Structure 1
């Protein structure tokens, strides 16, 4: 999988270059991870943006981050995935298992950028927390893509899905560290593999395929949950491009969307740092778009 939409530090052009040579077969870490074709509520954020200096004709289309449908017309992702784009940017969502293959096929057919984006995904409207980027205590790193009735119907028709269940207010605090440590945690996304060391430094292969992996609970603070992804502990984990993607915890047999992937260690070997969704700030933002439990 991939991390922090590229830790929010790779520019769109750099991302396009990185993905151009990506290995198409996998995402998430290569260790202890599996494809997730059944998790159709988890999708890829596809972006059409300008690269030629003419904002009227956004000419590049690629997947950029991960996210989750939390009701029939709301796709939850990270704020750093939807900001700092050139004017004219357009956002689409694909719930396909292999969005990279669909992009490759559309581009090989010689379609225009707009036609590629429309074939691969459904266009929506971006809403980013007005408090983003916040600070280290609370980054407010949260955003949604909203769909009108036509867009919502198109999503459901192309990729039937059941929206993820959001947590109740303060649910992680109420459970406590002992229960969270005993619970099953899973991370999902379309991101790249962990770093591969080579003569030129680290490279991250793969990406564009929805994957899942079990991770372990490490720590909880006011707005963050830290999850372990060490191979030696039989965990997988997230990497670049998994930003905005879901971190699920199973509580009393129910899978709860507890947090969204934001950042972690740069080679993607050890830690996934995720933004909690049960806090007053996250719920204050989400409450404008979805009915909260």
Structure 2
């Protein structure tokens, strides 16, 4: 889940990750202090079918980011996941826990055949992408928020999978709680991203990804549009990495799990910090209002 790269396609090919708009891209849940998240059925993989070689023929079908269902037909993700794709790219969501195993099992099939097979078997649902028109914004507000919408599609995720949409925060809820309350609360990230950097003969790589995982984080800081979350291994924490972009960062408030922010960026090796885009701000809520009933 973290840091945006430069383009979704570049990030994808480079590390099965995401793109960049802030500092770097977002990745997967770290391997340390992490565990599977089968219970988080509202969290899904962002999947695309696109032309990776520039010859006009779709030749890549793969997961690229993370996101979360916020109602029956709206999947919230990051704008840098929906941005700058080749013409003709098709977009899908999968709420399968282990999407990577499905990809691996059918890797010999041409990309378009894979996509048709996954649709026929109910492993993905096709939708329409939309992003904040102000993206990429600036350092104060990147406007890095987007959705895959299924309102105009015959099949929605609710028709295929059983899930309860995430609880969105009320307007300005994180500001109203303040730093002390947020620091005392339980936080964790969920996503399909890769693992933290691993050293090898060719340099750093980010293995893994494509499986829904979760990891406990710790509150660090809150500003106008961002939540900064710690994920240091030495403190028993984990967190996001490449491919986790757009995925949820939950906070436990009053016994209720609230979607506070979505992963956007962090430190390049995925060791220390997750920087997440708040969804309780005026800008985020203005973008989401046409797609979902806001609390």
Unpaired runs of 5+ in structure 1?
Answer: 21-26
Quote how far apart the aligned CAs of 1:10 are.
Answer: 5.8
Alignment partner of 1:104 is 2:104 = yes
TM-score for the superposition, normalised by structure 1 = 0.91
- Cα contact 1:46–1:117 (8 A) shared by 2: no
Unaligned runs of 5+ in 2: 18-27
Deviations 1:199-257 (A, max 9, x none): 32211100000000110000000000000000111101100000000000010000000
Aligned position for 2:36: 35
Alignment partner of 1:142 is 2:145: yes
Aligned-residue CA RMSD (Å)? 1.8
Name the structure 1 match of 2:186.
Answer: 184
Q: Does 1:67 align with 2:81?
A: no
Deviation for aligned residue 1:160: 0.5
Change (3 A) 1:234 1:201: same
Q: How many matched pairs?
A: 281
Q: Distance between the aligned counterparts of 1:61 and 1:92, measured in 2?
A: 10
TM-score by length of 2: 0.90
Residues 1:141 and 1:11: Cα distance change in structure 2 (over 3 Å): closer
CA–CA distance in structure 2, aligned partners of residues 41 and 11 of structure 1? 23
Contact 1:67 1:77 in 2 (8 A): yes
**Correspondences of 1:16-31 after superposition (within 5 Å):** 16=13, 18-19=15-16, 28-31=29-32
Aligned mates of 2:257, 2:133 — CA distance in 1: 29
Alignment of 1:1-293 (within 5 A): 2-4=1-3, 7-9=4-6, 12=9, 15-16=12-13, 18-19=15-16, 28-55=29-56, 57-108=57-108, 112-118=113-119, 119=121, 120-148=123-151, 150-152=154-156, 155-293=157-295
Aligned CA distance change for structure 1 residues 281 and 29 (closer, same or farther; 3 Å):
same
- Give the structure 2 partner of residue 24 of structure 1: none
Change (3 A) 1:117 1:58: farther
